[in-house]
Amino acid sequence: MTSVVKNDALVVFTPSGKRGRFALGTPILQAARSLGVDIDSVCGGRAICGRCQIEVAQGEFAKHGISSSTNSVTPAGEAEGRFATRRGLDEGRRLSCQALLNSDVVIDVPASSQVHHQVVRKPHEAYDIVIDPVVRSHFVEVSEPDMHEAMGDVERLRRALREQWELQDVTCDLFVAQKLQAALKVGKRQVTVAVRNENQIVAVWPGLKTRLFGIAVDVGSTTIAAHLCDLTSGEVLSSAGIMNPQIRFGEDLMSRVSYIMMNAGGEEELIKSIRKALNELVVSVAEQADVSIDDVLEMTVVGNPIMQHLVLGLNPVELGTAPFALATDNSVDVLASEIGIQINAGGHVYALPCIAGHVGADAAGVLLAEAPYKREAVSLIVDVGTNAEILLGNKQRMLAASSPTGPAFEGAQISSGQRAAPGAIERVRIDKETLEPKFKVIGSDLWSNDPDFAEQTKASGITGICGSGIIEVVAEMFLAGVLDPDGKIRPHDSIVSDCIVPDGRTSAFVLHRGQQEIRVTQNDVRAIQLAKAALHAGAKLLMEHFGVEKVDRIRLAGAFGAHIDVKYAMVLGLIPECDLEQVSSAGNAAGTGARITLLNRAARAEVEAQVRSVEKIETAIEPKFQEHFVASMSIPNGDSSTTAAQKRGRRGRRGGRRVE
Amino acid sequence: MTSVVKNDALVVFTPSGKRGRFALGTPILQAARSLGVDIDSVCGGRAICGRCQIEVAQGEFAKHGISSSTNSVTPAGEAEGRFATRRGLDEGRRLSCQALLNSDVVIDVPASSQVHHQVVRKPHEAYDIVIDPVVRSHFVEVSEPDMHEAMGDVERLRRALREQWELQDVTCDLFVAQKLQAALKVGKRQVTVAVRNENQIVAVWPGLKTRLFGIAVDVGSTTIAAHLCDLTSGEVLSSAGIMNPQIRFGEDLMSRVSYIMMNAGGEEELIKSIRKALNELVVSVAEQADVSIDDVLEMTVVGNPIMQHLVLGLNPVELGTAPFALATDNSVDVLASEIGIQINAGGHVYALPCIAGHVGADAAGVLLAEAPYKREAVSLIVDVGTNAEILLGNKQRMLAASSPTGPAFEGAQISSGQRAAPGAIERVRIDKETLEPKFKVIGSDLWSNDPDFAEQTKASGITGICGSGIIEVVAEMFLAGVLDPDGKIRPHDSIVSDCIVPDGRTSAFVLHRGQQEIRVTQNDVRAIQLAKAALHAGAKLLMEHFGVEKVDRIRLAGAFGAHIDVKYAMVLGLIPECDLEQVSSAGNAAGTGARITLLNRAARAEVEAQVRSVEKIETAIEPKFQEHFVASMSIPNGDSSTTAAQKRGRRGRRGGRRVE
């Protein structure tokens, strides 16, 4: 009998299930690589970055015919021990670059060790994000200069990247070349470089640098929000929001554009102001996460067309008047320093493309985050801000439009309206018998008729009605018969209730009597009617273009979408008919879009292609929009098959003359 | 009989000889284009740029069977008349975009109308330059924005370039996008853009802009020279030179590197100083040519490795000590603003690649201008500055090295040495009988024994000996027997001549007695011997590597090469043996190299490829170099086949101990 000495062994990786036989002594990392198992490494197998951690499964694996134990790989040697001492290594974890194959083994690759792992989505988000950022760090050992081989250090670095990381044809920015030799000296020829798009060296540090960061920014007209992410884990480490300082040049976008048109140097002022705010946000999120701004290598930005233009230093005046010509509808990818953003000198800003003159990069972000173009079902996605941006479509075809809702949904132009903040009424119920209202304010869980309500709201007071509150109160007024379908408040003398009071030639509904009376006037109702008519008409217009009577699902993006009770949106006719189960909030989808492009580079090409192919509908020049608009004035909604002229005769004109 | 009405005609273009039949009414420009005849146009056939001028030949052209006359094309119409009135049109010239084919015709395309015409070379230059600059201007009409077609103005511009100029996939820099809409407004949707590499829009102007400019710069340790060129005609419109202001940090390169090593912030000081000088030069050449610096779109730079590094903001300290590691040996192509050069905001700087730590981009410029790699003959090309850069080779193989000649050839380290300037002795003859010298100084054509000499040199005086003068006087001293082959000046008491005088323990040769005595000392001769030995040894080393005993031709580049009398260079043994007819000056070949890359974009790839493939020889680590050096000390040259040790025994060591 001859005894067979096996000189190879079977390795099975979980959770991928990939398997193969390798010579004894093969590093597990190498086995993983040759099987295409996704294990990260920054240091290239030198036991210093700790990215390639795995766990050796223990037990009998009947399915694979393997008995796997910690002895199936070689024990930790000196290098791994040094790493464990210096950086710590959890119980059961091994560095796959150091663990060599001893016998058949099952290896578990934890998600944190995978290069392209997914970040699990948050409640409102439509999809997981696959981590594959545009910038990655690579640790390299660069050969010593040698008079026998005349060669620049940049070229030695490029050779090292080719040989140690299989990165071909990598260019090196001049400002990196300017720092390279000093870094090589300090790092004793070992440096970490940040490589962008696998082809451009944008930063260099002496020695090992494992973590790089990025910031996703959502630039709203009112607030700017930023999220700092670890570009490797995808984790959001800190978030911050500040008021858009441009508010001092005008509350709404058009007044800011006017400011530029009326004031010499106004353009520079607005640009400077927004960039200053962005830089403050960068510092704020970086400090919160205890990260140096020099380690921030990438920023992605979404915003409406005017904000996007100003961040990029593009004059937005053309966006102020028809034909609303964008300076560019392409994405912009520039060195952060070129637009005055202070992150790493090699850091870049990627600004998502605008869809059209009224449909911004924020809508592009929503489009990417929601990806309705991946579904068979026809989605209607609405992002309500000062304008409503509306996306409609499915796998076959996508349409986009902007509808001029005005800021009523945000509580502006409403007599007691205010922004969502403690003290603002956000929920309302009206007793159908007594017409007595009750409400909740932000900052308290209690209804206003609760005995403890006064105590609980003492600090904030009851200060006004926010966007979701105004929707509810108008819807409840309609449901309680206080409003007729035309939106007229019942005359105060037609009904016995303290809540309906005379208000000039019309009536008003009193929601709260206190230090500050909060009432809903006929003008408030009209403002909401105009806003909801615009939104509904925009949706109807797109549905008509698409050729559907009914959409399969509706997603409400933005803060408005997150706080509104979809039932009331339906009662009021904000959104077209849809199975209520299929109406949901998309959260801050625009910001999510920015975050996706920060963490996944393929998403950039995706959003660019989608933005290019989406059909842009300009409501301002569509005659049917006016018809839908007029029809949508009534509550919930009228029938636009009757002609616009008839409607006008019956209900009066939009604006100007009061609808009686 | 039927009469045949011809509806096409024959067009023959000269000088290309290209010919073809075209429908009557075809614009001559269009006919030219479809035949591949090279006719320029910036405005795209709109009769406004005037670039497409042709002449209609008159007479019988038997060879072509054509009778051609001015009537063979349609007469000038309104548009052409407007052009002639506004811009002028020479007698006999027509705009080929306006002249339509009437009957058979011979069309002469003047060189100035050709896109890729050649600039005839100057006396010293090796080749003509084919004009094909990296940046070109294109006049376009951009469609009006249109709400029915949501599209950014950048994208409209790109479409116009695609449709009107067949430029595909052109990118637009952000800073151009920032200016685009304003330019479109002023230009009533007609703008001119500068397109770089046929794929990048780098500048925009309202209306028509026909002329763009570039500057070629040669950054020497001592002087910096700039030439402003019309990027279309290739013509040098103005030139200027200034002293390198870094001289205050050290006369020679190594003392500047020391300055950086010894002084905190020294690097920034030197970088700032060189860039300031470059900006002054830009202003100077632009003003001379009455050109706005905003119309300068491109700059090319050559210099030795240390200068090249400083211009690019790269720390040169590694170049101060072995192993002389370049930060990069690649060419660098950056926005001018990135290195503080003030030309158009979209202007770029192209810095030619360095060949090795001691062989700079100036040598790369020489390599490109002289193109020895295009010849079968083996060329030796020498550029003498503080170091001598030596190129040797042919089609098959090129070698490069730097040899440490020191600055003696520039008149430095010579007791009466000075830079080439009025008053400097540049020509010397010594009477073999009387040993009486005569000389010429810069600024006068007369020999010093001419009766009018004193009068003519009164203004300048006789102030010293320049580089070519020192070569001649030493060579003449040798030919007259004042020097022996070992370089020893004959003892003053061994000969009856006033011209040989005691000078410490040695003798000196008196060239001029006057207010200021000008003499050649034993030390001066030694300095020249050391310099020429280094140069000769470098050439021999490369010849040895290449495997030739004798080169076919020698080109002497730089100011030194232009002024030196090659006969004396040979007498002294500066250069290896060669047919004297085949030794010539290459002029400022480094600067020519910069100018070629300014005017011809293919030349950039060419010089990069050549620099990569040239074999770099490092004299410092070649033992044979020392042998050749020692052998080359004698006049004209010794034989290095005897061992270095023997030589040392016979002639003493290099440096340190005096050679006796």
Q: In angstroms, what is the C-alpha Rg of chain B? A: 30
What are the backbone dihedrals phi and psi of residue B456, each rounded to the nearest 5 degrees, phi first? Answer: -70, -25
Q: CB count, 10 Å around CB of B119? A: 20
**Chain B partners of A182 at a C-beta cutoff of 8 Å?**
315
**Chain B partners of A178 at a C-beta cutoff of 8 Å?**
312-315, 327
pLDDT at B640: 60
What whole-number distance in Å separates Cα of residue A5 and Cα of residue B602?
63
Question: Does residue A590 register a pLDDT over 70?
Answer: yes
Q: How many CB pairs under 8 A join A and B?
A: 142
Q: In angstroms, what is the C-alpha Rg of chain A? A: 30
Among B144, B181, B334, beta carbon nearest to A174: B334
pLDDT at A651: 40
Q: What integer is the mean pLDDT of A273-286?
A: 96
pLDDT at B120: 64
Q: What integer is the mean pLDDT of A307-317?
A: 96
pLDDT confidence bin for B5, thresholds 50/70/90: low
Q: How far is CA A367 from CA A380, A383, A404, B151, in A?
A: 11, 10, 19, 18
What whole-number distance in Å separates Cα of residue B630 and Cα of residue B628?
6
| Of residues B259, B303, B256, the one with CA closest to residue B278 | B303
Among B148, B322, B616, beta carbon nearest to A150: B616
Q: Could you tell me the sign of the dihedral formed by the alpha carbons of B653, B656, B659, B660, in that order? A: negative
Q: Is B335 on the interface with A (CB under 8 A)?
A: no
pLDDT at B196: 97
Mutation to test the B interface, candidates A147, A158, A170, A184, most B Cβ within 10 Å: A147
Residue written as token pair 């695609």: B162
Inspect the interface and report whether the beta carbons of B313 and A145 lie closer than 8 Å. Answer: no
Please name the residue of chain A whose CA is at the shortest distance from the CA of residue B146: A323
Q: How far is CA B639 from CA A209, A503, B484, in A?
A: 58, 117, 16
Mutation to test the B interface, candidates A178, A306, A616, most B Cβ within 10 Å: A178
Q: Is B320 on the interface with A (CB under 8 A)?
A: no
Give start and end residues of each alpha helix (H) in A244-341. 253-262, 266-288, 305-311
Query: What number of CA atoms fall less than 13 Å from residue B321's CA on the CB side?
Result: 3
- Residue B178 C-alpha, separation from nearest chain A C-alpha, in angstroms: 5
Which residues lie below 8 Å from residue A439, measured CB to CB, with a gap of 6+? A425, A426, A427, A428, A429, A447, A448, A469, A473, A511, A512
A 82-111 residues inside an 8 A Cβ radius of B: none
pLDDT at B246: 87
Question: Does residue B76 register a pLDDT over 60?
Answer: yes
What whole-number distance in Å separates Cα of residue B10 and Cα of residue B65?
10
Q: What integer is the mean pLDDT of A241-264?
A: 87
Specify the DSSP class assigned to residue B132: B
Do B498 and B508 contact (CB within 8 A), yes or no? no
Residue A430 identity (one-letter amino acid) = I
Q: How far is CA A590 from CA A125, A303, A312, A382, B80, in A?
A: 11, 8, 18, 11, 55
What are the backbone dihedrals phi and psi of residue A399, each rounded to the nearest 5 degrees, phi first? Answer: -125, 150
Question: Does residue B242 register a pLDDT over 70?
Answer: yes
pLDDT at B38: 86
Question: Does residue B649 register a pLDDT over 50?
Answer: no
Question: Does residue A642 register a pLDDT over 50?
Answer: no
What whole-number distance in Å separates Cα of residue A75 and Cα of residue A80?
9
Inspect the interface and report whether the beta carbons of A327 and B146 lie closer than 8 Å. Answer: no
Please name the residue of chain A whose CA is at the shortest distance from the CA of residue B615: A150
Please name the residue of chain B whose CA is at the shortest distance from the CA of residue A329: B152
Torsion of CA B573, B578, B580, B585, to 10 degrees: -80
Please name the residue of chain B whose CA is at the shortest distance from the CA of residue A156: B328
- On average, the pLDDT of chain B sits at 90
Question: Does residue A641 register a pLDDT over 70?
Answer: no
Question: Does residue A646 register a pLDDT over 80?
Answer: no
Share above pLDDT 90 across residues of chain A, in percent, rounded to a whole number: 71
Do A514 and A453 contact (CB within 8 A), yes or no? no
pLDDT at B24: 94
**Chain B partners of A338 at a C-beta cutoff of 8 Å?**
174-175
Mutation to test the A interface, candidates B301, B314, B355, B613, most A Cβ within 10 Å: B314
pLDDT at A564: 87
Give start and end residues of each alpha helix (H) in B480-588. 522-546, 558-563, 566-572
Inspect the interface and report whether the beta carbons of B326 and A355 lie closer than 8 Å. Answer: no
Inspect the interface and report whether the beta carbons of A147 and B324 lie closer than 8 Å. Answer: yes
The 3-state secondary structure of A136-166 reads EEEEEECCCCECCECCCHHHHHHHHHHHHHC
**Chain B partners of A355 at a C-beta cutoff of 8 Å?**
150
- On average, the pLDDT of chain A sits at 90
| Of residues B514, B544, B502, B525, the one with CA closest to residue B448 | B514
Please name the residue of chain B whose CA is at the shortest distance from the CA of residue A147: B323
Report helix, strand or coil for A543: helix
Inspect the interface and report whether the beta carbons of B621 and A312 lie closer than 8 Å. Answer: no
- Residue B610 C-alpha, separation from nearest chain A C-alpha, in angstroms: 14
Q: What integer is the mean pLDDT of A295-306?
A: 97
Do B467 and B560 contact (CB within 8 A), yes or no? yes
- Residue A177 C-alpha, separation from nearest chain B C-alpha, in angstroms: 7
pLDDT (tens digit per residue) in B481-523: 999 999 999 998 887 788 899 998 999 999 999 888 999 999 9
Inspect the interface and report whether the beta carbons of A327 and B174 lie closer than 8 Å. Answer: no
Inspect the interface and report whether the beta carbons of B155 and A324 lie closer than 8 Å. Answer: no
| Of residues B149, B194, B174, the one with CA closest to residue A327 | B174
Q: Is A175 on the interface with B (CB under 8 A)?
A: yes
Residue B556 CB-density burial (10 A; 0-12 exposed, 13-18 middle, 19+ buried): buried
Mutation to test the B interface, candidates A143, A171, A326, A545, most B Cβ within 10 Å: A326
pLDDT at B112: 84
Q: Is A334 on the interface with B (CB under 8 A)?
A: yes
Q: What integer is the mean pLDDT of A550-571?
A: 90
Question: Does residue A658 register a pLDDT over 80?
Answer: no
- Residue B230 C-alpha, separation from nearest chain A C-alpha, in angstroms: 28
Q: Is B171 on the interface with A (CB under 8 A)?
A: no
Inspect the interface and report whether the beta carbons of A150 and B313 lie closer than 8 Å. Answer: no
Q: Is the peptide bond before B502 cis (omega within 30 degrees of 0)?
A: no
Helix axis angle, A266-288 relative to A253-262, nearest 10°? 130
- The token duo for A632 is 């949508």
Q: Is A326 on the interface with B (CB under 8 A)?
A: yes
Inspect the interface and report whether the beta carbons of B328 and A153 lie closer than 8 Å. Answer: yes
- Residue B348 C-alpha, separation from nearest chain A C-alpha, in angstroms: 13
pLDDT at B647: 41
pLDDT at B659: 30
Question: Does residue B292 register a pLDDT over 60?
Answer: yes
What are the backbone dihedrals phi and psi of residue B70, each rounded to the nearest 5 degrees, phi first? Answer: -60, -25
What whole-number distance in Å separates Cα of residue B86 and Cα of residue B48?
9
**Chain A partners of B338 at a C-beta cutoff of 8 Å?**
174-175
**Chain A partners of B625 at a C-beta cutoff of 8 Å?**
none
**Chain A partners of B174 at a C-beta cutoff of 8 Å?**
312-313, 332, 334, 338-339
| B319-323, B479-483, B652-656: the lowest-pLDDT one | B652-656
What whole-number distance in Å separates Cα of residue B361 and Cα of residue B385?
14
| Of residues B370, B409, B414, the one with CA closest to residue B392 | B370
B 177-216 residues inside an 8 A Cβ radius of A: 177-178, 180-182
pLDDT confidence bin for B4, thresholds 50/70/90: low
B 137-156 residues inside an 8 A Cβ radius of A: 144-148, 150-155
pLDDT (tens digit per residue) in A378-398: 999 999 877 899 999 999 999
**Chain B partners of A356 at a C-beta cutoff of 8 Å?**
150
| Of residues B423, B403, B272, B288, the one with CA closest to residue B340 | B272
- Residue A622 C-alpha, separation from nearest chain B C-alpha, in angstroms: 10
pLDDT at B564: 87
The 3-state secondary structure of A34-87 reads HHCCCCCCCCCCCCCCCCCEEEECCEEECCCCEEECHHHECCCCHHHHHHHHHH
Specify the DSSP class assigned to residue A535: H
pLDDT at B60: 87
**Chain B partners of A180 at a C-beta cutoff of 8 Å?**
327
What whole-number distance in Å separates Cα of residue A303 and Cα of residue B485?
82
- Residue B412 C-alpha, separation from nearest chain A C-alpha, in angstroms: 29
